[in-house]
Amino acid sequence: MFIYTIVNIGSEKLLKEEVSIKYPHLKFAYSRPGFITFKDTNENFDINTKLDLIFARTYGLCIGKFTKENALIEIENYKNTKVHKFSYINENTSGEKAKINETILDFIELKEDEIWLGIKKIKNNSWKFPFGNPNIILPEESPSRAYLKISEAFSLVDFELKGQTVLELGSAPGGASYSMIQKGLKVYGVDNAEMADIVTSNSLFHHLKAPMQKIRDENIPRPCEVLVSDVNVMPSLILAQLKRFMSLRPGIKHVFYTLKIGDKISIKEVLSHVNTFKKFGFKEIIATQLPSNKSEILLYGKK
The pLDDT assigned to 182 comes to: 95
Rounded CA separation 250/225 (Å): 9
Integer CA distances (angstroms), 156 to 46, 104, 131, 144, 197, in order:
23, 17, 13, 20, 29
- Residue 296, CB-side half-sphere exposure with 13 Å CA sphere: 25
pLDDT tens digit sequence for 4-14: 999 999 999 99
pLDDT reading at 34 higher than 70: yes
pLDDT tens digit sequence for 134-161: 999 999 999 999 999 999 999 998 877 7
Write the burial class of residue 265 (CB in 10 Å: 0-12 exposed, 13-18 middle, 19+ buried): middle
Rounded CA separation 215/211 (Å): 7
Rounded CA separation 85/40 (Å): 25
The pLDDT assigned to 267 comes to: 86
The pLDDT assigned to 124 comes to: 86
The pLDDT assigned to 56 comes to: 96
Mean pLDDT of 63-77: 95
Mean pLDDT of 212-234: 94
- Better pLDDT: 79 or 204: 204
The pLDDT assigned to 179 comes to: 97
pLDDT reading at 217 higher than 70: yes
pLDDT tens digit sequence for 158-200: 877 778 999 999 999 999 999 999 999 999 999 999 999 999 9
Pairing assessment for the beta strands 35-40 and 26-32 based on DSSP bridges: antiparallel
The pLDDT assigned to 261 comes to: 81
pLDDT reading at 72 higher than 90: yes
Question: Bridge partners of 117?
Answer: 64, 107
Rounded CA separation 99/240 (Å): 36
Q: Supply angle C-alpha 173, 178, 180, rounded to 5.
A: 130
Q: Supply angle C-alpha 222, 301, 143, rounded to 5.
A: 70
Q: Is 258:235 a contact under the CB 8 Å cutoff?
A: no
pLDDT reading at 294 higher than 80: no
pLDDT tens digit sequence for 73-100: 999 999 889 999 999 999 899 999 999 9
pLDDT tens digit sequence for 255-278: 999 988 876 678 888 899 899 999
